[in-house]
Structure 1
Amino acid sequence: MENVFQDPVQLSKGINLKELMTTATEFHIDMDFKKKQNGMSINMDDDFFPDMDGDDSDEEDVLKNIEDTADKLMLSSPEYHSFDELSKKMIDCSMSNGAVKILIIEEGDGPLVPVDAEVTLHYAAYWEKSNIPFDSTLTMNGGTPLTIRLGKRRILPGLELGLTMVHGPRARAQLLLAPAAAWGPRGAPPRIRPERALFVISLYAVSDVYASARFNDLPMEEQTKFEVTVRTVNGLHAEAKGLFSKKRYKRAIKTYQHSMSVLGLSRPKTEYEEDQLKKLKITTYINLAVCYCKVDKPKYALIMCENLDRISNLDKHCKGLFYYGRAHNMLGRHDEALTYYKKALKLEPKNKDIGKALADLDAYLKSSAKTEKEIWQNAFQSSVEEKKEKVVYAVDEDFQDGVREMCKDLAGRSEYAKFDLPLGLTKDEVDCIKSLADDFQGLHVLEDGEGKRKKVSIVKKISI
Structure 2
Amino acid sequence: MGDAFDEPVQLSKGINLKDLLSGDSEFQIDLDFKKQQCDDLEDDGIIDDDDSDSDDVFKNIEEETSKMMLSCPEYHTFRSLESKMIDCVSSGDVKMLILEEGDGPLVPVDAEVLIHYAAYWEQATIPFDSTLTRNNGQPMKIKLGQGKILPGLEIGLTSIRGPKSRFLLLVQPALAWGPYGVLPRIKPEPALFVIALYSVNDTQAAVRFNDLPVAEQSKFENTTRTVNSLHTQAKDYFAKQKFNKCIKNYQQSMTVLNMSLPKDKNEENEIKRLRINTYVNLAVCYYKINKPKHVINMCQNLDYVTDINKHCKALFYYGRAYEMLGKTEDAIKYYKMAKRLEPKNHEIGKALADLDRYNKKSAATEKDLWQKAFKLEPQTKKKNYDVDADFQATVRDMCQNVADSEEYMKFNLPESFTPNEIGFIRDLCDEFEGLVLQENNVGKKKTFSIIKQGLVIG
Q: TM-score, normalised by structure 1?
A: 0.65
CA gap 1:345/1:380 in 2 versus in 1, 3 angstroms? closer
> Aligned partners of 1:348, 1:122: CA distance in 2, in Å?
37
> In the alignment, which residue of structure 2 is the partner of 1:268?
262
> Aligned partners of 1:118, 1:322: CA distance in 2, in Å?
34
1:175 aligns with 2:168: yes
> In the alignment, which residue of structure 2 is the partner of 1:446?
none
Please point out which of 356, 361, 372 is paired with 2:352.
361
- SS for the counterpart of 2:374 is helix
CA gap 1:349/1:357 in 2 versus in 1, 3 angstroms? closer
Please point out which of 207, 220, 230 is paired with 1:226.
220
Please point out which of 209, 213, 218 is paired with 2:207.
213
> In the alignment, which residue of structure 1 is the partner of 2:430?
none
Please point out which of 383, 391, 399 is paired with 2:374.
383
Report deviation, 1:135: 0.5
CA gap 1:133/1:196 in 2 versus in 1, 3 angstroms? closer
CA gap 1:183/1:253 in 2 versus in 1, 3 angstroms? same
> In the alignment, which residue of structure 2 is the partner of 1:117?
111
CA gap 1:272/1:67 in 2 versus in 1, 3 angstroms? same
1:285 aligns with 2:279: yes
CA gap 1:8/1:60 in 2 versus in 1, 3 angstroms? closer
> Aligned partners of 2:330, 2:312: CA distance in 1, in Å?
16
Query: 1:201 corresponds to which letter in structure 2?
Result: A
> Aligned partners of 2:246, 2:324: CA distance in 1, in Å?
21
Please point out which of 193, 199, 204 is paired with 1:198.
193
- How big is each residue's C-alpha offset from its partner over 1:70-121, in whole Å with a ceiling of 9 and x where there is no partner? 456x25416635577996997747557693324354856x655322012233
Q: TM-score, normalised by structure 2?
A: 0.66
Report deviation, 1:303: 1.0
> Aligned partners of 1:135, 1:318: CA distance in 2, in Å?
47
Please point out which of 299, 304, 311 is paired with 2:305.
311
2:156/2:169 contact within 8 Å kept: no
Query: 2:292 corresponds to which letter in structure 1?
Result: P
Please point out which of 93, 96, 99 is paired with 1:101.
96
> In the alignment, which residue of structure 2 is the partner of 1:237?
231
1:342 aligns with 2:333: no
- SS for the counterpart of 1:101 is strand
Report deviation, 1:345: 3.5
> Aligned partners of 1:293, 1:89: CA distance in 2, in Å?
58
Q: How does 1:2-21 map to 2 (within 5 A)?
A: 5-8=5-8
Report deviation, 1:157: 3.0
2:115/2:195 contact within 8 Å kept: no
1:67/1:76 contact within 8 Å kept: no
Report deviation, 1:240: 0.9
- SS for the counterpart of 1:43 is helix
CA gap 1:379/1:240 in 2 versus in 1, 3 angstroms? same
> In the alignment, which residue of structure 1 is the partner of 2:434?
none
> Aligned partners of 2:203, 2:369: CA distance in 1, in Å?
61
> Aligned partners of 1:248, 1:286: CA distance in 2, in Å?
17
- How big is each residue's C-alpha offset from its partner over 1:132-161, in whole Å with a ceiling of 9 and x where there is no partner? 321022333555543321012321233223
> Aligned partners of 1:241, 1:385: CA distance in 2, in Å?
56
- SS for the counterpart of 1:200 is strand
CA gap 1:9/1:293 in 2 versus in 1, 3 angstroms? same
Query: 2:227 corresponds to which letter in structure 1?
Result: V
1:61 aligns with 2:60: no
Structure 2: gaps spanning 5 or more residues: 378-458
> Aligned partners of 1:112, 1:320: CA distance in 2, in Å?
35
> In the alignment, which residue of structure 1 is the partner of 2:34?
43
Report deviation, 1:44: 9.0
CA gap 1:358/1:91 in 2 versus in 1, 3 angstroms? farther
- How big is each residue's C-alpha offset from its partner over 1:298-336, in whole Å with a ceiling of 9 and x where there is no partner? 211111111111021112323222222222222223333
Larger radius of gyration: 1
> Aligned partners of 1:200, 1:289: CA distance in 2, in Å?
38
1:100/1:181 contact within 8 Å kept: no
- How big is each residue's C-alpha offset from its partner over 1:6-60, in whole Å with a ceiling of 9 and x where there is no partner? 344799999776678xxxx9x9x99xx553xxxxx2229959xx9x995212222
> Aligned partners of 1:115, 1:376: CA distance in 2, in Å?
68
> Aligned partners of 2:8, 2:254: CA distance in 1, in Å?
60
> Aligned partners of 2:309, 2:85: CA distance in 1, in Å?
45
- How big is each residue's C-alpha offset from its partner over 1:211-244, in whole Å with a ceiling of 9 and x where there is no partner? 2222222222322222211111111111111111
> Aligned partners of 1:319, 1:267: CA distance in 2, in Å?
28
Query: 2:306 corresponds to which letter in structure 1?
Result: S
Aligned residues between the structures: 362
1:237/1:255 contact within 8 Å kept: yes
> Aligned partners of 2:131, 2:69: CA distance in 1, in Å?
10
1:233/1:262 contact within 8 Å kept: yes
> Aligned partners of 2:115, 2:122: CA distance in 1, in Å?
22
CA gap 1:91/1:289 in 2 versus in 1, 3 angstroms? farther
Report deviation, 1:210: 1.4
Please point out which of 352, 363, 368 is paired with 1:372.
363
